[in-house]
Amino acid sequence: MMVEPGKLYPSGGETAAYRQRFLHSEANLKFLDCGEFHLPAGLGTGAEILPDRESLLFMWKGRATVELPPERYALDSYDTLYVPRGGSVRIENPFPETACLIRISAPAEGVHPPYHSSFAEISRREDRIRHLKGKDVYMMFDVGEAADKLVAGYTFFLPYQRSWPPHNHTDQEEVYFFIKGHGSMEVYEAPETLSFVHNVAEGDLVTIPMLNYHPVFSQESPLEFIWCIAGARYWVGDKNKSFMSGTGTSLTT
């Protein structure tokens, strides 16, 4: 019998890490959980399984490969990957720069096929872009893709823009995860009770329980954020054309 040597793993060495940003139970939400994977160069995770939840991985910084048997996916900047309920994923970073992925999940009963969205492709497809005044919305995981609850994409604001008209949802909750720039955001039930007004910057996130209005304001630089919905599967501008035209003072979907 061959005796193998021991190995030293210094306490100060870099490791792959997962940071839970919030659980729905503590964030006034019914469905959505959110966290981040940080992978220094050359490192990876073990098997990551959410037995009762579907999830989306958003490639925020760097690049990574994701093994979701029987396939292996190469994720580049701002790509997304839908992981079905119970899917076992291993994330690796074979590249020289640190990788950061955002995972947002919701409970699911069905098991649907994985779906990889390339931002380089989506950003060239007019059928997947919604042009609003001063901002563009990229539909990364749309209603045409199979899922129980999730719909998601990116919104890119030009400087000095705002969401208009303010809107809320009777059947959706959301999270906004800010990935570039800085600005402000409000979340409120009614204008006379408006009390949540915060500056937001890269890495900040805001939860949006149902029936809350949630306008965003960019400042002197462009502002980019992930938005992810759980609930009824639609995007507000595809359901209500007043949002696309920027008319009215507020709307409810």
SS (HEC) of the chain: CCCCCCCCCCCCCCCCEEEEEECHHHCCCCCCEEEEEEECCCCECCCEECCCEEEEEEEEECCEEEEECCEEEEECCCCEEEECCCCEEEEECCCCCCEEEEEEEEECCCCCCCEEECHHHHCCCHHHEEEECCEEEEEEECCCCCCCCEEEEEEEECCCCECCCCEECCCEEEEEEEEECEEEEEEECCHHHCCEEEEEECCCEEEECCCCECCEEECCCCEEEEEEEEECCCCHHHHCHHHHHCCCCCEEC
Is 32 a domain residue?
yes
Q: How many independent structural domains does the chain possess?
A: 2
pLDDT recorded at residue 239? 84
Q: Are residues 91 and 133 in the same domain?
A: no
**What is the side-by-side order of every strand in the sheet holding 223-231?**
129-132, 135-141, 150-157, 223-231, 172-180, 205-208
Is 123 a domain residue?
yes
Q: Are residues 67 and 104 in the same domain?
A: yes
The answer to whether 242 and 248 have CB atoms below 8 angstroms apart is yes
Q: Are residues 151 and 235 in the same domain?
A: yes
**What is the side-by-side order of every strand in the sheet holding 80-83?**
17-22, 33-39, 99-107, 53-61, 80-83, 115-117
Q: Are residues 132 and 101 in the same domain?
A: no
Residues near 208 by beta carbon (within 8 Å), at least 6 away in sequence: 173, 174, 175, 176, 187, 214
The answer to whether 22 and 103 have CB atoms below 8 angstroms apart is no
Domain of residue 79, residue span: 17-113
User: How far is it, in rounded angstroms, from Cα 19 to Cα 37?
Assistant: 6
pLDDT recorded at residue 55? 98
Report the candidate in 33, 22, 30 with the shortest Cα–Cα distance to residue 170: 30
Q: Are residues 134 and 229 in the same domain?
A: yes
Q: Are residues 152 and 107 in the same domain?
A: no
Is 173 a domain residue?
yes
Q: Residue 197 is part of a domain; what is its CATH number? A: 2.60.120.10
**Domain final position from 113, 147, 167:** 113
Q: Are residues 180 and 81 in the same domain?
A: no
Is 2 a domain residue?
no
Is 253 a domain residue?
no
Is 96 a domain residue?
yes
pLDDT recorded at residue 13? 65
Q: Are residues 103 and 146 in the same domain?
A: no
Please list the pLDDT of the chain residue by residue as tens digits (253 residues): 778 776 655 666 678 899 999 999 999 999 999 999 999 999 999 999 999 999 999 999 999 999 999 999 999 999 999 999 999 999 999 999 999 999 999 999 999 999 999 999 999 999 999 999 999 999 999 999 999 999 999 999 999 999 988 888 999 999 999 999 999 999 988 878 776 778 999 999 999 999 999 999 999 999 999 999 999 998 887 888 777 777 777 878 8
- Please indicate, yes or no, whether the overall pTM of this predicted structure exceeds 0.85: yes
**Domain final position from 87, 113, 139:** 113
pLDDT recorded at residue 3? 81
pLDDT recorded at residue 66? 98
Q: Are residues 135 and 180 in the same domain?
A: yes
Q: Are residues 138 and 223 in the same domain?
A: yes
Report the candidate in 171, 165, 147 with the shortest Cα–Cα distance to residue 253: 171
pLDDT recorded at residue 8? 57
Q: Are residues 124 and 236 in the same domain?
A: yes
Is 7 a domain residue?
no
Is 79 a domain residue?
yes
**Domain final position from 74, 94, 113:** 113
pLDDT recorded at residue 51? 97
Q: Are residues 199 and 180 in the same domain?
A: yes
